[in-house]
Structure 1
Amino acid sequence: MSTQFGAASTTDDVLAGVDLKGRRVLVTGASAGLGVETCRALAAHGADVVGAVRNLAKGEAATAAVRAAAEASGGSFALIELDLASLASVRAATDALVASGTPFDLVIANAGVMAAPFGRTVDGFETQFGTNHLGHFVFVNRIAGLIREGGRLVNLSSAGHRFSDVDLVDPNYDTTPYDPWQAYGRSKTANVLFALEFDRRHAPRGVRATAVHPGGILETELARHLGEGEVEALVTSLDERNAAAGLPKFQLKTIPQGAATSVWAGVVASADDVGGHYCEDCHVAEVHEGESMDGVRAYALDPEKAKALWARSEELVGETF
């Protein structure tokens, strides 16, 4: 596995010299931030990219650069409507994709919300768990048969998974006092566990799955629920924790740097190296505990917990995969 890339690498760095003509990719959350950049980078190298967005008008306006990149490279770009907070929308989108029968080489589950105030999705799930995990769980599983042999799934997780493990007893905060960061952590741990179990189930047919942490990025819409000064306070807290642990200061990334690990894990790294793992800074992360602000927590890579989350998720959405 290549080790030439790191935290400062951009999408253009990791895709330098890579020809993606003939490769078909689906990216959720394609109307802002990391999603737009991920689509642009892949389209610029000749891929046929499908972006899934909640609002088609917003998506059209936000992706002009992606269309230009596709036209210049000989690739293509199209949008589909997908609201991950509505299982009816998820099922409508997947029904249309399955009916078309056109396969994908890569699915990047990029969309998400962070530190949202307490709320519920259309189907009654806690907003972050319902959107970040359950919406993608149903979406990806319903189109899993479209992922070609040799294809991959990349789930965007976060360092936020270190905030909390999943809670399979009260996933929707029916009785637990709500904390937005704890809820975010639960959903991001779920993203890792989902990738782990998806990889176990689909590796025998040559389809692999991995989870990635893009890094800390301020310019995306992910931070829209944070109040004035809250981001700065969070960075200060992380710096203090790192200093106490003898670690360097927390480094923010640009959007091209943040999207680099997704495309690296999706098309550059060896499938056997990244399959069933959690990646950050364009490499497979090690298991770290305690106050460490890098690496992955062991509970996020627990295969039995991954199986249990899958079963609980099926129960919650009323659909078996």
Structure 2
Amino acid sequence: MSSKFGATSTTDEVLSGIDLTGKRILVTGASAGLGVETCRALVARGGAVVGAARDLGKAEKATAGVRAAVTTGSFELVELDLASLASVRACADRLVAEGKPLDIVIANAGVMAPPFGHTADGFELQFGTNHLGHFVLVNRIAGLIRDGGRLVTVSSAGHRFADVDLDDPNFEHTEYDRWVAYGRSKTANILFAVAFDRLHKVRGVRAAAVHPGGIRTEFHRHMSETDEAVMIAAINAANAAAGLPPFQYKSIAQGAATSVSAAAVPDGDAVGGRYCEGCHGAEAQEGEGLRGGVRPYALDAERAEALWAKSEALVAETF
């Protein structure tokens, strides 16, 4: 990834000079925030973008600006509810039946810190939506990804809250903590990218996980003002201890920049199997709080394979 870009770079800056004409791209979560901006930036460079969203009516309204930005490419929407494996499989089946190859898949959709709940299939809501839904979708359409293609999973610095729990992924035996659950799901996003990259890099398909940074979007709808203040105070305390500046929110265009950068960077080795933030690959780093870097457990290859096997068992499907 280019050294001239960083945490404050925008989607238009990192894609400047890049022509995506002829590239077909799937983006999940295309009804708000980062998903909409990701779609807009990609179609503006000629990409043929397929946006996936649970609520197509909402997505149609939210993506009016995306359609206005279409140049040599195109934009369409498909229905996808990641909290329902029936919906996930129906979406994947539709894409496979169409038979149109994909060059890039950006697994952007997700939920953050909701009250305890379950998906339609009985999985803890965050793990089921953020990880298992994408796990099934991406693996079912993996054959559509062209040789040399790219998978980007949107994770978070929140992965530092918790490693995955392969013994109790649905909080059946432990008390639910929404931030621990969020951390588990975001660690799972990284481990999935690690395992997918190892499996598919033989044909040049590379996978990366990214942290967009802190952005005010409807992703935060389950957080109260008090929750937000407590979280930012904790981040600032960790930053101060590490000699780093106070936390600042990014704009949506800055937040989506790392996703599109990881998706479009020509050198797959620069991002393959890595966790990226601020338009750069991050280094492994221990320490408390939400500072930069990636926890070593999130890049552990054996852990990634174990999560893959557990995920297959949970969804009753082998890939």
Instruction: Provide TM-score, normalisation by structure 2.
Output: 0.98
Q: 1 CA distance for matches of 2:192 and 2:182?
A: 15
What is the CA distance between 1:310 and its match in structure 2?
0.1
What is the CA distance between 1:268 and its match in structure 2?
2.2
Q: Identity of aligned pairs, percent?
A: 69
Q: Is the Cα–Cα contact under 8 Å of residues 2 and 269 in structure 1 kept in the other structure? A: no
- Secondary structure of 1:212 counterpart: strand
The 1:96–1:11 alpha-carbon spacing in structure 2 relative to 1, beyond 3 Å, is same
Partner of 1:250: 247
Partner of 2:27: 27
- Secondary structure of 2:69 counterpart: helix
Partner of 1:175: 173
1:98 aligned to 88, 96, 100, which one?
96
The 1:269–1:250 alpha-carbon spacing in structure 2 relative to 1, beyond 3 Å, is farther
- Report which stretch shifted further, 234-243 or 8-17: 234-243
- Secondary structure of 1:308 counterpart: helix
Partner of 2:157: 159
1:134 aligned to 132, 135, 138, which one?
132
Q: Is the Cα–Cα contact under 8 Å of residues 245 and 291 in structure 1 kept in the other structure? A: no
- Secondary structure of 1:148 counterpart: strand
- Segments of 4+ in structure 1 off by > 6 A? none
Total equivalences in the alignment: 318
Partner of 2:259: 262
Partner of 1:237: 234
Q: Is the Cα–Cα contact under 8 Å of residues 14 and 268 in structure 1 kept in the other structure? A: no
What is the CA distance between 1:251 and its match in structure 2?
2.3
* Pairing 1:156-235 to 2, within 5 Å after superposition: 156-218=154-216, 220-235=217-232
- Secondary structure of 2:26 counterpart: strand
Instruction: Give the alignment's Cα RMSD to 1 decimal.
Output: 0.9
The 1:264–1:26 alpha-carbon spacing in structure 2 relative to 1, beyond 3 Å, is same
Q: Does 1:309 pair with 2:293? A: no
Partner of 1:283: 280
The one-letter code of the counterpart of 2:260 is: V
Q: 2 CA distance for matches of 1:294 and 1:2?
A: 18
Q: 2 CA distance for matches of 1:251 and 1:271?
A: 30
Q: 2 CA distance for matches of 1:45 and 1:23?
A: 10
Q: Deviation per CA, 1:186-210: give whole Å up to 9, x if none.
A: 0000000000000000000111100
1:107 aligned to 105, 111, 136, which one?
105
What is the CA distance between 1:291 and its match in structure 2?
2.8
Q: 2 CA distance for matches of 1:2 and 1:63?
A: 29
Q: 2 CA distance for matches of 1:6 and 1:45?
A: 20
2:295 aligned to 290, 294, 297, which one?
297
The 1:45–1:283 alpha-carbon spacing in structure 2 relative to 1, beyond 3 Å, is same
Q: Is the Cα–Cα contact under 8 Å of residues 153 and 209 in structure 1 kept in the other structure? A: yes
- Secondary structure of 1:225 counterpart: coil
What is the CA distance between 1:269 and its match in structure 2?
5.1
- Secondary structure of 1:117 counterpart: coil
Structure 1 gaps of 5+ residues are: none
Partner of 1:57: 57
Structure 2 gaps of 5+ residues are: none
What is the CA distance between 1:43 and its match in structure 2?
0.4
Q: Deviation per CA, 1:213-245: give whole Å up to 9, x if none.
A: 000011x11101111332122112211121122
Q: 1 CA distance for matches of 2:253 and 2:211?
A: 14
Q: 2 CA distance for matches of 1:90 and 1:183?
A: 21
Partner of 2:17: 17
Q: 1 CA distance for matches of 2:16 and 2:307?
A: 38
- Secondary structure of 1:61 counterpart: helix
Instruction: Provide TM-score, normalisation by structure 1.
Output: 0.98
The one-letter code of the counterpart of 1:199 is: D
What is the CA distance between 1:246 and its match in structure 2?
2.1
Q: 1 CA distance for matches of 2:262 and 2:300?
A: 21
Partner of 1:319: 317
Q: Does 1:46 pair with 2:46? A: yes
The one-letter code of the counterpart of 1:241 is: A
